[in-house]
Structure 1
Amino acid sequence: ENMRVHEELLNLAFAEEEAVSHRIKVLEDELKVLHKKREEFHLSNKDEISRLLAKRRSMARLEAKTKSLGDDLKRINDDLGTSKKCKRALEDLQTKALE
């Protein structure tokens, strides 16, 4: 009787060990999948960060170009104003010369 109880306990222990081993295998497989997803996520983040940095550099270049073009436009408008004044002055001189 004692031997049978002992065998029963051993069988239960082996069954429990197999169940635990199986659960460990399942968890290890899940962990591999999670590690792979984490690596893909890191790579995706690196790519996204690279794209954002490239966009930031482009924006900085465009802002500098916009400022430069704005400065050029201001100079052109100033020159246009000066040209109009000179034209009016010349027209006035021409009118006075013809009188």
Structure 2
Amino acid sequence: MSNGCEYGFLDRIEQKFHVKIPAEVREHYLAYNGGYPEKPVFAGGDGEEYSVDWFIPVWDGKERPMEKTLGFLRADDGVIPDWLLPFAEEGGGNLCGRLHGQA
């Protein structure tokens, strides 16, 4: 495995949590498996600026941090809806993205 994660890790998340990870997010994780952005501030499609401290890795060699984070947030009903995927962290907490094909 290179710096990215394996297809199987992403497939496991999709199957376990009944989600479909968007192609762009899948490509990022296959190439980088999370990581720290070179430019920590991004402009969103809504015109707002978003700061990203780091992208939550799918696999860190011992654990599955994204799976653990998603499981934790879903364990307590109502923390996040099923159509959101936590993919990064910033100073105020997790950043989530809408999953394709979800309500």
* TM value normalised by structure 1: 0.20
* TM value normalised by structure 2: 0.20
Structure index of larger Rg = 1
Q: Which has the higher helix share?
A: 1
| Greater RCO, CA 8 A, separation 6+ | 2
Q: Which has the higher strand share?
A: 2
